[in-house]
Structure 1
Amino acid sequence: MTKPESAAHDYDVVISGASLAGSAAAILLARRGARVALLERRSDPEAYKVLCTHSLTANAYPVLDELGLVPALEKAGAVRNHARWYTRWGWIEPKAAPAGPELPYGYNVRRSILDPLIRSHAAETPGVDLLLGHQVTGLVREAGRTVGVRASAPQGEREIRARLVVGADGKDSALAKFAGVPTRQHENARFGYLAQFRNLPLPDGIAHAWFLEPDLAYAFPNDDGVTVLAVLPDKKRLPAFREDLEGSFLAFVRALPEAPPIDTAERITKIIGSVNYPLHSRKPTAPGLALIGDAALTGDPLWGVGCGWALQSAQWLAEAVGPAVTSATGQSDGDLDRSLAAYARTHGRRLRGYQYLAADFATARPFNPMERLMFSAAARDASMARHMHLFASRLIGPLQFLNPVALAKASAVNIRHRGSNPSPSASPSATATGGPAH
């Protein structure tokens, strides 16, 4: 192996973005011996992402555990995110099997708690330099390879060189644009608005989601007695919705089956949202460059998986490239490229199937036959509800979710219940617009 010229690098790794993905990657890489510069364009260490589901699905729990954040999250009042989901066949209510283990869980916790927590944890990790107020303005490239960044800093422009540059700078990643990484984009035919409420009780104190075909809504209980309430209607409803945003938001929620008592709750934030939130994905690596979190893949926010995938992608990257980025190991650029290729394979294998299904569902279509089979069976059978919970938690992939045994069982469940469908309450699509129920 050819030993790299370590003196040519200020750090082993430079990461742009000190939110979930960037901070997690900095911690995990530094623990593996890397010297890490963690750049954050905002100067406030307490800064946080506002527009978010504020949910960490159960697939993120092993990463949180490795980071050592679970005790701090529990102390901060993060809510274990068990849930029930409304469908036209009734409620899907996953519960642990009799005498079985507790269902896997993640946490609902506001980003105003989570972001400063993980960022401060990164800043306290030996080997990590947190550089606030540093905005990346360009890449340093040599012979077609990224070897550092140029950044605007409080002290002026500076150049920071590293063996690996990591983009953890969100769905509109500047690093991806600087590197010329193409973006594959899928239209999202829904828009979304959310707000936070206090004193909004939910049955059993757990998260709720409403699949109304094509409209959706969810209510996620969070820390400090705050509930995040979101609506995601079909874009066809956007012009009328915008005419009276607050009135439309409240009317939508009031019309939900078993609607949360929104009129007696205290709204503590503005109603915020996005009318255009496409799904996109990018090749997560290039020579000397890796993308993690939303910079690599942005999913549909209705599934609440972005935070979990941000943490997982940071872990996959650290596991793949840890030895190759540490100057002391004496590994070459070729070793790093092979490690980056391994990360890209893991990222694609773990997330591509989910993204394919999400992009299809984002067209705001009704359930397709396979979804009708699985959702209806999960509303009728406890073991199928647990199976659905594992998939919604991103603990099993699409192929495991739709394996032949599960399909056969779902078919058997539905045959037994043929002719006994409940009559669910009218959806907001009907009551709020005067149109037919779906």
Structure 2
Amino acid sequence: MARVLVIGAGLAGSAVALFCARRGHEVTVLDGGSPPPPGATPDEEVRAWSRKEVPHARQGHAFLALSTRVLREEAPDVLTAFTARGALVTPLEPGSEDATVLSRRLVYEGVVRRAAEAEGSVTVSTGARVTELVTDKEASDVPRVIGARTADGTEHSADLVVDASGRRSRVAHWLAAAGLPAPRETAQPCGFFYLTRHYELRQGHAFPSTTVPIVAELDYGTALVFPGDNDTFQLSTTLAVDDPLKHRLRDPDAYGRFLASVPRTAEWTDRGIPLDDPSPMGHIENRRRTLRDDLGRPVAAGLVLVGDAALQTNPTFGRGVSLALTHAQHLARTAEEAAADPAAYTAGFEEWTDGRLGVWFEIQLATDRARFAQLKAGLRGEHAPPADDLPNRFVRAMAVLREDDPEIRTAALRLYNMLMTPQELMADRTVARRILAFLREHPLPEVRTPGPDRATFEAVVAGDSVRDLSAPTAHP
């Protein structure tokens, strides 16, 4: 049994606590925020739970099948609890155990957190803001982190300290204050501006679809649909951060007009009643923090980073929760090794993170770089050709072929849901052969998405009368 100290009680921290407790470890969670309101309904939870430390808490979320698979392996009762709170556990295909969970972020997070708090070996201290790490520099050649101190002066000790404090982690500050090297970081500003509005279904209506993703990629922006719990859904939009109309879209009427002009979201707005005004999120970036120096040695022993504190990805693809839960599962399975050799454990955890999760970070970097170039061209009313590297062309060919090919549709769903990597997909001979044959005839395939062009978009936002919007904007 290991004593595990978790900094942060978001999804990553709660998952670490839950999974570790069920494997016999003793867990203390330090939460600088507030717990979910006791006795709240799902709607009350979304309205009243303050999560300032999670800037994307009220944005649209997709809970992919990889996260569901991890929960089925570690805590299957949580899936039942999702359903009891009104979320939909939706199989990828009939009869499949692999499923997405359709839910608002705070409803999903509340279920996981309450499950962790119910474990007898988990202690959660709310309002416990960490101010510094406690270290033992005499323990070995690598200084060891043996605990953390909170703002009230309380010192918490552990065999393993886990930073699960999210994208705003202060681990660099804590290490510097302890006289230790800062983590090495790779950061890519995505250049995206995000807006989300919540809706509830009109009485007597149903979701047009429960199969995600539901996305409309236009030259200058993206519109996304996130079906949720209890007959709610979220409609989100991504624009370039320097788009002059981004703040105009914060006007509820302008936002509604735009979504009604995109056929893929119009069928949702027709069935929904808005619950709030569009909520913005900026400063979106992909960031990787590692506790290894340039020579691969750990900068501190007995400390690991989990979830967004280690791998922060653009939320458009919904990969963050699956990465966090997979991270938490590996930690829970290996935590007892930390006490015996904390330096080796930290180094090994970083190596595992790079080998198993790093591929998704690299994919996100490449995808966002290519998409931002398209959005910049779209601002000028131009159409930028998509990236011409083989992985990007491969994925676009799948998007075209999946409509009529069941095997490719299954493969595309597994890829989106992180159940296979692009490399594993390309190694599938049946799928790869069909896609490569298609690429020989169509070297630069593009998906045709109906929606307004840039000039029409500007007119829609301004409230002008517009022409027919049924024509696709992408070029074949």
Q: Which of 319, 324, 349 matches 2:337?
A: 324
* C-alpha spacing 1:101/1:202, structure 2 compared with 1 (3 Å): closer
Q: Which structure 2 residues correspond to residues 79-98 of structure 1 after superposition, within 5 A?
A: 79-80=88-89, 96=93
CA distance in 1, matches of 2:281, 2:144: 36
Tell me whether 1:368 sits opposite 2:387 in the alignment: yes
CA distance in 2, matches of 1:425, 1:120: 42
The gaps in structure 2 that reach 5 residues or longer are 38-48, 138-142, 176-181, 292-297, 375-385, 461-471
Q: What residue in structure 1 maps to residue 100 of structure 2?
A: 106
CA distance in 2, matches of 1:417, 1:279: 31
The alpha-carbon deviation at position 428 of structure 1 amounts to: 5.2
Q: SS state of the match for residue 126, structure 1? A: coil
Aligned residue identity for 1:296: A
CA distance in 2, matches of 1:19, 1:64: 16
Q: What residue in structure 1 maps to residue 163 of structure 2?
A: 167
* C-alpha spacing 1:428/1:171, structure 2 compared with 1 (3 Å): farther
Q: SS state of the match for residue 153, structure 2? A: strand
CA distance in 2, matches of 1:103, 1:273: 35
Instruction: Report if the CA contact (8 A) 1:213-1:365 is conserved.
Output: no
The alpha-carbon deviation at position 36 of structure 1 amounts to: 1.2
Tell me whether 1:232 sits opposite 2:238 in the alignment: yes
Structure-2-length-normalised TM-score: 0.77
Percent identity among equivalent residues?
23
Q: What residue in structure 1 maps to residue 436 of structure 2?
A: 411
Q: What residue in structure 2 maps to residue 242 of structure 1?
A: 247
Instruction: Report if the CA contact (8 A) 1:190-1:362 is conserved.
Output: no
The gaps in structure 1 that reach 5 residues or longer are 1-5, 83-94, 326-330
Q: Which moved more, 1:398-407 or 1:69-78?
A: 398-407
* C-alpha spacing 1:417/1:159, structure 2 compared with 1 (3 Å): closer
Q: SS state of the match for residue 397, structure 2? A: helix
Q: What RMSD over aligned residues (CA atoms) do the two structures have, in Å?
A: 3.0
Instruction: Report if the CA contact (8 A) 1:293-1:311 is conserved.
Output: yes
CA distance in 2, matches of 1:30, 1:359: 34
Tell me whether 1:78 sits opposite 2:87 in the alignment: yes
The alpha-carbon deviation at position 205 of structure 1 amounts to: 4.0
Q: SS state of the match for residue 337, structure 2? A: helix
Instruction: Report if the CA contact (8 A) 1:316-1:347 is conserved.
Output: no
Instruction: Report if the CA contact (8 A) 1:377-1:414 is conserved.
Output: no
Q: What residue in structure 2 maps to residue 204 of structure 1?
A: 209
| Count of aligned residue pairs for this structure pair | 402
Q: SS state of the match for residue 224, structure 1? A: coil
Instruction: Report if the CA contact (8 A) 1:183-1:280 is conserved.
Output: yes
CA distance in 1, matches of 2:285, 2:406: 34
Q: Which of 316, 326, 336 matches 1:302?
A: 316
Q: What residue in structure 2 maps to residue 392 of structure 1?
A: 416
Q: What residue in structure 2 maps to residue 290 of structure 1?
A: 304
* C-alpha spacing 1:417/1:165, structure 2 compared with 1 (3 Å): closer
Q: What residue in structure 1 maps to residue 153 of structure 2?
A: 157
Q: SS state of the match for residue 267, structure 2? A: coil
CA distance in 2, matches of 1:244, 1:394: 32
Q: Which of 59, 62, 67 matches 2:75?
A: 67
Q: Which of 261, 264, 267 matches 1:260?
A: 267
The alpha-carbon deviation at position 417 of structure 1 amounts to: 8.5
